Structure 1
Amino acid sequence: MTDLPDLPDLPITFRPGRTRAVLLGAGVAVFVSITTVAMLLEQLTPGERISFVFTAAVLFGVLCTLARPKVVADEDGVTVVNITGRRRLEWAEILRVNLRQGDPWVFLDLSDGTSLPALGIQPGIARQRAVEDARTLRALAEARSAADPERHRS
């Protein structure tokens, strides 16, 4: 018998679904609104209209970038995709998965002594879901590291 909860089938992707939906929805609304205003204002020149649409596209791009974070766990390890970066980790590199009260997202304590934020699990809008995802990732990390403890040692 084991203390670990039932582990999900891999690969599994963790991402803040509600936050992502809000960001993408807002991005579409901003783009459509600004573009509509640019087309309806008769006193604008074609260049000004293009600048309005360009600004709307930039804002949409920023909101899409903010919606990018995710954590993907597979048989070999974890890929953490944050706003501007991506990092691949082997299971043995993850010592601890932390989501403490007040944390904006999960932090992974790594074997090299550093801590990596994993923005793909964040309690912002859906706290209970983030807690469940953090527990699942912690259980996966513990099970995978225990299964092959010598894998990452130098």
Structure 2
Amino acid sequence: MSFVVRPRRVRLFAGLGAVVLFAAFTVAGIFMRQTDTGANFVLSDQIAMVGIGLFLALGALWFTRPRVRADRDGVEVRNMLGARRFPWSDVEQVSFPDGSPWARLELPHDEYVPVLAIQAMDGEHAVTAMRELRRVRREAADKQ
């Protein structure tokens, strides 16, 4: 009864963006010394240009990090900056408010945690993920 979900569309766009960024900076780095711009570029400039492309590509891939993992003991939400695990007893509700770009876990005292792994732009994938996450939560509550 374990469930894992990651966003689909953002992973596709981030992956494509990473490839395009790295390729563009690599091509620019290769042709730096061959174009007559009036500036004097050397090998270290070319390497730096490829390095910048690599860092930008890694930055784009950072958006593929969100994930939610749920089992009968609780739910782990991994967003951009970190991961937190919540026992089901701390989760009052799993919701997807109207107009919200992603789902969230409703916690006591009017607190909530965004679940970036379930995004509105994923359409039917997000609906299926919400149903499955709610099912896991319901089954965990029934066994307690």
**1:48 match:** 45
TM, length-normalised to structure 2: 0.86
Residue aligned with 2:68, SS: strand
- Runs ≥4 in structure 1, deviation > 3 angstroms? none
Q: Is the 8 A contact 2:118 2:130 kept in 1?
A: yes
Q: Is the 8 A contact 1:92 1:144 kept in 2?
A: no
1:45-103 per-position Cα deviation (integer Å, ceiling 9, x unaligned): 12211221121111111111111101011232211110111101112221101112211
The amino acid of 1:117's aligned partner reads P
Whole-Å separation in 2 of the counterparts to 1:146 and 1:11:
15
Whole-Å separation in 1 of the counterparts to 2:78 and 2:138:
21
Whole-Å separation in 2 of the counterparts to 1:145 and 1:57:
46
**1:72 match:** 69
**2:37 match:** none
RMSD of aligned alpha carbons: 1.6
1:112 to partner: Cα distance: 5.4
**1:21 match:** 12
1:11 to partner: Cα distance: 2.1
1:22-47 per-position Cα deviation (integer Å, ceiling 9, x unaligned): 21121012102211220122253122
Whole-Å separation in 1 of the counterparts to 2:22 and 2:109:
43
Whole-Å separation in 2 of the counterparts to 1:135 and 1:102:
18
Query: Whose strand proportion is higher, 1 or 2?
Result: 2
Matches within 5 A, 1:28-107: 28-43=19-34, 44-107=41-104
Residue aligned with 1:141, SS: helix
5+ residue gaps, structure 2 = 35-40
Q: How many residues align?
A: 138
Q: Is the 8 A contact 1:71 1:80 kept in 2?
A: yes
Instruction: Identify which range, 97-106 or 130-139, moves more after superposition.
Output: 130-139
Q: 2:126 aligns with which of 126, 130, 133?
A: 130
Q: Is the 8 A contact 2:14 2:63 kept in 1?
A: yes
Query: Whose helix proportion is higher, 1 or 2?
Result: 2
1:108-132 per-position Cα deviation (integer Å, ceiling 9, x unaligned): 00135420001000012x2121122
Query: Identity percentage over the alignment?
Result: 29
TM, length-normalised to structure 1: 0.81
